[in-house]
């Protein structure tokens, strides 16, 4: 069963259980995957397009990122009830994402990356980040990785 099929199956289950939040969230995710299919179909000159699990995961990551940004904005605006709703949607979306690496695992990969890239200092942030994210894509939060890289590069002097 593909990831998209699993989401569709879970949507049917949520509808049967009359779980409005879950069904609404899954509909939004499926809508976003459908939009990506339409976009790809336009680029492939009308040929039928089927999204792979990697592409569906990318859609899920984008949707999760939107929720995280909305939560932050609602909290700044003192709109707790809206932030709470976004958090619930985020939790539903994260059920379909692979588990994230912890900080210790990320630091280990960053250490290997630093040895490989040999940065001269903070100016080489982009090189280190690019190399690290190739290995960490989807497994670690990019903001956390960026923060850890900045700390590591502060210790490296040109």
Domain span(s) for CATH 1.10.1510.10 in the chain: 3-94
- Structure confidence at residue 156 as a pLDDT band (50, 70, 90): low
Angular region, 94: left φ>0, alpha ψ -120 to 50, beta rest: alpha
Handedness of CA 145, 148, 150, 155 (dihedral sign): negative
The enclosing H or E element of 44 equals: none
Judge residue 77's burial from the number of C-beta atoms within 10 Å of its C-beta, 0-12 exposed, 13-18 middle, 19 or more buried.
exposed
Contact 139, 100 (CB under 8 A): yes
pTM of the model: 0.72
The residue among 156, 103, 87, 99 whose CA lies nearest residue 125 is 156
Domain span(s) for CATH 1.10.10.410 in the chain: 103-154
| The domain over range 103-154 is classified in CATH as 1.20.120.10 | no
Query: Within its chain, how far is the Cα of 131 from the centroid?
Result: 18
How far is the first Cα of the chain from the last one, in angstroms, to the nearest whole number? 51
Class of domain 3-94: mainly alpha
d(C-alpha 138, C-alpha 4), whole Å: 17
Q: What is the pLDDT of residues 119-147, one digit of tens each?
A: 888 888 898 898 888 888 778 878 888 98
d(C-alpha 36, C-alpha 153), whole Å: 37
Q: Which two tokens stand for residue 3?
A: 């990831």
Q: What is the pLDDT of residues 23-55, one digit of tens each?
A: 999 999 999 999 998 888 878 776 777 888 889
Q: What is the pLDDT of residues 63-75, one digit of tens each?
A: 999 999 999 999 9
């Amino acid at each position: 069963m593909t990831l998209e099929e699993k989401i569709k199956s879970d949507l049917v289950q949520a509808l049967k259980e009359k779980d409005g939040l879950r069904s609404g969230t899954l509909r939004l995710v499926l809508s976003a995957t459908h939009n990506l299919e339409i976009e790809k179909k336009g680029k492939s000159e009308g040929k039928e397009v089927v999204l792979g699990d990697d592409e569906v995961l990318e859609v899920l990551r984008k949707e999760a990122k939107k929720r995280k940004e909305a939560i932050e904005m609602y909290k700044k605006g003192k709109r707790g009830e809206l932030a709470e709703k976004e958090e619930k949607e985020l939790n539903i979306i994260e059920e379909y994402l692979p588990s994230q690496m912890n900080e210790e695992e990320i630091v280990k990969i960053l250490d290997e990356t630093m040895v490989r890239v040999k940065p001269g200092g903070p100016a080489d942030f982009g090189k280190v980040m690019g190399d690290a994210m190739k290995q960490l894509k989807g497994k670690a939060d990019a903001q956390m990785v960026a923060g850890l890289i900045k700390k590591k590069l502060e210790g490296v002097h040109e």
